[in-house]
Structure 1
């Protein structure tokens, strides 16, 4: 398995599988892209992907709908033999409000489906007589908000997984290098605390008797100013940003209740904690200054990505062997993006994980309508399949190469 000849034999089979399924993968991709669904509402995506694998039941694929107690999650698996290692591929398919697939989750889902198929069929052809193995596709809802993977972690979806893979699209920007993908975009993903803050004051007539009121909007303004000043004194790698969800009802009524939502991000979960404490002081100070009560509602926290070097290096090698220009780490590349967060980071703390990046042509960055258009392009779809091939080659190595699997585990444990 470690020779170039062995890698090439896997590449040949993987490409053959992807060519066979490309028309059907294109249909699935367009169905998801043209019918964007928000977090935990991805019913059609769930049903379409499950129906696709139902049609392959004779090939040995088993489908679990509404998996792990999450209504729009699913699990597709193929198992050969009684024992063996397990590789998993994460499919995301939720969209953004008002923008559709402005982060390209249709391409993430498509690449994961394709990798599952290619890994399974390559292993069946090349290694089914010698080893047992399991290939798993996990449908992971609500990455954009809600932390679907955290629910799957809690329910045990990853407990027996030896390595977990996914890739994420980014824009090709002016001045960026001529790359198809990067083996690691971990530095782009920050640990993230998300909080909804509600201030409660006292209503009054804003003109006739404003002194009778306690202005909850003043608390919002004060908190906003406090945090804006704090942002001047934090590291360039740390981010704080928010929006006003509710600022009052009428101009002639002193607002009695207001709500803001903020994200607090830092490179690691260790550095996120003290930054979050500083932000909370800004919120608390606003409450004290205005006489309002304050309540906090926390969303699931996203962790930073733990890089697994053996996986990243193997992916980079496989992609370059197939002629797809790929580097191991895109950190610092001109035109690259940084500052986002993902619940795949939480998965990478549970099992060895891979979250590569690939680049598509688009007139805008992620989370813009222009990126939505790029995510629906034929070239974007083709590039997702190229990366699917790379993940499948590495997936086969995890399942068939004992030495490689041990190196992955050792690197994961070292980084704990």
Structure 2
């Protein structure tokens, strides 16, 4: 097997259990569609996904699985597992939504495909009597809350993990004609910081000279960073909002808060860019005679592509007549906490395209509408079958499992 060439060879002679996987999913197809609708129609923010947590947990229990609710100390995480001995495959299910625009990132489809993949692989293990374990892990708060980082710290990915698996929807018009999915995706790192500016209140009309305007500090920082963007690399992003800009016009604001994401292909480059952004904050504070302090959040690391897992997934999808791009060399300027998982265990995080208007993509209201359609659901289910087969391959093929581990252990060449 040559990982550097991105070609996977060898493997067992027995045929992939496509029929068993399809039958397992078909047996609960109506319930899976209901789960998808329930999550989509009840969008919940990170760590508040009570409906999603309960809906998926109830469904899994109805299918006969023992579910650990509120797993690993997180109120809206859950876990279920099937099998014994052998290696372990983990399906990651996301289900948080975005403020105001709901499931505009399609996490209802992520949850559905991961749950369906888990169900299919568990049933295949049962029917074929193969050694190995499969786990479904509820991973809340991907949208900035770093749920997977907390789960990593709590030990959710410890043990003989051969692969952590999930897929994310995007707009079908972003793929070449005829292709449905992309296996190997380069997501970039995201560093997150809030900055608080503290000034001095005063009557804005009567004695403005007695005030130190924290809103001026925020506006100056925003302007500084906007100018900085002209001198950053094309594969980097800096974007933020003013979360608190004061209260009433006739009082000089004494407190403001900004929230910024700094994205770059690697954490190292992200840290270098973060240092430049911080100088913008600090210059604004000095210019307005305000003080400042930082509130840091967990970093989302860049997503490492596992060539073995990506190539195997593309081949397995091809057996079902679904064209999949094995790997893309062009970084996608999105970020995910699955990147942190990819630095902890061998990981697969593909994407699949759903029908959406030409002017629609993730994090837009039109994409939320697209993510609830029957067509989007059907595509997520087809990818669930591919993920289940990938899990089966990892459990039953020593060469594939070893190749995935070698890819994982290779030193990242990007600096």
TM-score (norm 1): 0.93
Measure the CA separation in 1 of the matches of 2:269 and 2:174.
32
Name 1:87's counterpart in structure 2: 89
TM-score (norm 2): 0.93
Compared CA separation, residues 219 and 232, structure 1 to 2 (3 A): same
Matches within 5 A, 1:4-403: 6-7=14-15, 9-57=16-64, 61-80=65-84, 83-126=85-128, 128=129, 131-160=130-159, 161-173=161-173, 176-186=176-186, 189-332=187-330, 338-363=332-357, 364-403=360-399
Measure the CA separation in 1 of the matches of 2:12 and 2:370.
35
The answer to which of 170-179 and 137-146 deviates more is 170-179
Measure the CA separation in 2 of the matches of 1:5 and 1:410.
22
The alpha carbon displacement at 1:330 in A equals 4.0
The answer to which of 323-332 and 338-347 deviates more is 323-332
Compared CA separation, residues 294 and 139, structure 1 to 2 (3 A): same
The alpha carbon displacement at 1:26 in A equals 0.7
Q: Which runs of 5+ in 2 are unaligned?
A: 1-8
Measure the CA separation in 2 of the matches of 1:307 and 1:295.
36
**Which secondary structure does the structure 1 equivalent of 2:184 belong to?**
coil
The answer to which of 175-184 and 233-242 deviates more is 175-184
Measure the CA separation in 2 of the matches of 1:229 and 1:304.
26
* Contact 1:304–1:341, Cα closer than 8 Å, also in 2: yes
Superposed CA offset, 1:153-177 (max 9, x none) = 0010001121000000001237843
The alpha carbon displacement at 1:415 in A equals 3.3
The alpha carbon displacement at 1:295 in A equals 1.1
The alpha carbon displacement at 1:297 in A equals 0.8
Measure the CA separation in 2 of the matches of 1:330 and 1:171.
16
The alpha carbon displacement at 1:267 in A equals 0.4
Superposed CA offset, 1:1-27 (max 9, x none) = 9568634x4122212222222111111
Measure the CA separation in 2 of the matches of 1:2 and 1:235.
41
* Contact 2:11–2:397, Cα closer than 8 Å, also in 1: no
* Contact 1:306–1:415, Cα closer than 8 Å, also in 2: no
Measure the CA separation in 2 of the matches of 1:33 and 1:330.
29
Aligned residues: 401
